[in-house]
A and B are shown apart, each in its own frame.
Chain A
Amino acid sequence: MSAALAVLWKDLLSEWRSRDRVISMLLFSLLVVVVLHFALPPDAGSTLRAGTAGLLWVAYVFAAVLGMNRSFALELENEALSGLALAPADRGYVYLGKAAASFVLLAAVQAATAFAFALAFDVALLPVAARFAGIAALGGLGLSAIGTLFAAVAVRTRQREVMLPLLLLPVLVPLLLGAVRATAALLDGDGIGAPLRLLAVSDAIYLIVSFVLFDFVLDE
């Protein structure tokens, strides 16, 4: 477990010094919100409201993909990825450290994006802020969990910027279904139990599978 904490500390400290990952994620997700705001007709009314949750999660997914790519770009400089591969700890803990750092950064971006989204689309997120934060955290956890695994796979390929979304997006379908339905139900004042369960199960599967497979992913 100390290896996971070491990787988490190293990733967050590096990010604190450079801030390049969180800034690029944040700018990108805010741009998505702005583009969606102007792309959708102003008189969309109830149709738009039904799709609000989906639009928000589109922004989150794009930001997460960008962040994951950069997370492992850090490990390519000076071939630090080989340094991680040589650690005697279970590589699953290295994975947990990387995923936890991505989760923390994504959570910060999610919070800022949600605020911008509420303003741009006149969505009343404040009254349901605590429950929305829970859904966003569960979704962010799943995005970080499976995104970290696939980013580690993609980083050794030539077209890594393209490869990550190609690998990741199809696998994200259950997570997105759960996250979008839970968010939509919350905004409509409906029960969120069923989609939340789907979200939690997706997270658990992503985490367990990634923890086990990361050992092979780090091999050359």
Chain B
Amino acid sequence: MRPHPHWIDYAVIGIYFTFVLGIGFVLKKYMKTSTDFFLSGRSIPAWITGLAFLSANLGAQEVIGMGASGAKYGIMTSHFYWVGAIPAMVFVGIFMMPFYYGSRARSVPEYLKLRFDEKTRGVNAISFAVMTVFSSGVSMYAMGKLLQLLLGWNFNAAIIVSALVVLAYTFLGGLTSAIYNEVLQFFLIVIGFIPLTFLGLRDVGGWGGLKTRIGNDAMVHSWKYLGSPSTNPMGVEWFGMLMGLGFVLSFGYWCTDFLVVQRAMAADSMTSARRTPLIAAFPKMLFPFLVILPGMLAGVVSAASMSGSMSGDVSADVPAKPGSAVVSQRAAGGGISLEGGKGIIPPKVDESGKPLIKDGKTVLDYDLATPMMLVRYFPSGLLGLGLCALMASFMSGMAGNTTAFNSVWTYDIYQSYINKSATDQHYLWMGRAATVFGLAISVAAAYVARQFNNIMDVLQLVFAFVNAPLFATFLLGMFWKRATGNGAFCGLLGGTAAAAVHHGITLPAGSVPGVKGGFLGVVAHRYPSEMAQNFWTAIFAWTTCFTVTILISLLTKPRPDGELKGLVYALTDRPKDVGLAWYQKPALLAVVVLTALVVLNWIFW
């Protein structure tokens, strides 16, 4: 099955690129100082920073990954949003923004320097810079691979062109350009995916029809089957889910990852900064319907428009008999074969085009679930829009990583350690240079990812090792004035080490020692699934960092209260929300978001 884009699809994509570049060009003249370039002059209104906050996070991982998880695990995937993201977003908006914004820190590592010391900043800055640049590269690789598989586009061309486009607009317009394009991308993704979900649901007969077709009750309930790992497809129980995903991993990401926090720092006032994650929370709550449902639908719809087709049907587009040698030729040379797949999810194929088998079952390529839905339901015209939305999600992730990298490089690494007292114009120049070499490294990383297909797993892993303990550091830093720099530094290292050790002595069911764990020689515990192992690694990492930080802090000298004003809860004035309309007050927004969250969880119980 290979879609054939027509001129209209290319026209839509071309128009999109024109606007994306155009925004960059128009914004160039406003980039006069380094604050303009890295922080948009702290002048962006809340609704824009809110949508950008959400959109910067909306990389390939979301659109493709959530579709894949939806296909694999069902509506439980919504936990990534309803338990994972939303509470963390509310927390960062209400409780942590006053410190991020009020401290006038220009980056997350810089807050750590102000609150703790230079070495704590260093640990965070270096690990973040490396992670973010590699993350961008992995995004590029995933996009190149997808476009090649789906449309036959040249892998190298896809990578180079997308890198150049992102380079152009971030180089010219800095963070503002990235933010504006993220908002554009947000609308594109929503507008691109609403018809997809609509058509898919209509085809199966609504949510009820979907439930019937899936046939597995555990895939259409989000909480009911979390009593034990053996009763749900994810292999987790509610405690591991809540503490691992709900608390450590999501708070670790949303509260400390500079990629999203940067967007809130660009807001035009403290109130806007606090409202940014709350405004983002509203669309975030509804995203499961746009990204998870298509994945769930992919497993149960059929390729041809005839009803009653068997799953594994090859589309009427390409004439071939299943089982013939033509199948593997086609898969390798042009087009995707659904032979052996489920619904319209194709099997994973090896180089010769034959489906991979593991434990007697065909391994499915879940990452293709959402793209195959696009190809299945969108005629030419809308197909161009859908492809645009897909590319937009990859590119907004890349741009987010690029702007975060160039800021952390310039302020936290270059200015802190290499050249402390240059002119503002020099730092502006350095920021632009960092944009270029950051993207160059990302492109290199994309090719590395192509060589070693475990790289995505490795990256996920290292992210968890680094992010999980970080949240403990921030929590203690912001709410316990007794926390010291030495404590924070040791805590971070200890937490990361604990994560590595935990991963090294445990294995998920059905895996062999290696990237998946158990590389320290002994396997102390077998988890029912990779996800369970992940969640518990996070829990151990966080707890270790928390305890070590407290212990070492009590043994070392704290800084005097005067130095910590504005950086710690006890020593900062509570922000006052005067002069705001009732619907603008952060506290009220938070209450509305949390109520809606409870309702959604209850509906899909």
Partners in one complex: no
The residues of A with any CB-CB pair to B shorter than 8 Å are none
The residues of B with any CB-CB pair to A shorter than 8 Å are none
